[in-house]
Amino acid sequence: MLVQDWMTSIVATIEDDDSIMKASKLMKQNRIQHLPVLKEGRLVGIISDRDLKEAQPSKATSLDIHELYYLMEEIKIKSIRSSQLITIAPEATLEKAAALMQKYNISALPVVDAKGELQGIITKGDVFRAFVDISGIHHSELQMGFEVDDRPGSIGEVANIVRTHGGRIVGIFTEYGRAPAGFRHVYIRVKGVKDVDEEDMVKDFMVEEIKRKCKLLYRCHDRVD
pLDDT band at 118 (very low <50, low <70, confident <90, very high): very high
If asked whether residues 7 and 114 sit together in one domain, one would say yes
Total domains, the chain:
2
Q: Is pLDDT of 184 > 80?
A: yes
182: left (phi over 0), alpha (psi -120 to 50) or beta: left
Considering only CA atoms, which of 80, 132, 82 is closest in space to residue 110?
Answer: 82
- Domain endpoint, select from 112, 132, 152: 132
Looking at residue 141, the DSSP 8-state letter turns out to be S
Asked if 199 contacts 171 with a C-beta cutoff of 8 angstroms, the reply is no
Reported residue count of the chain is 225
Compute the distance between CA of residue 162 and CA of residue 159 in angstroms, rounded to an integer.
5
Domain residues for 198?
Answer: 136-221
If asked whether residues 111 and 128 sit together in one domain, one would say yes
Compute the distance between CA of residue 31 and CA of residue 10 in angstroms, rounded to an integer.
13
- Look at residue 220 in the predicted model and tell me its pLDDT: 86
Task: Name residue 67's amino acid.
Answer: E
- pLDDT tens, position by position, 120-172: 999 999 999 999 999 999 998 889 999 999 999 999 999 998 888 888 899 99
If asked whether residues 112 and 188 sit together in one domain, one would say no
Please report, for the domain that includes residue 209, its CATH number: 3.30.70.260
pTM tops 0.85:
no
* Alpha helix (H) residue ranges in 75-202: 94-104, 124-135, 154-164
- Look at residue 200 in the predicted model and tell me its pLDDT: 46
Kind plus residue range of the DSSP H or E element containing 107: none
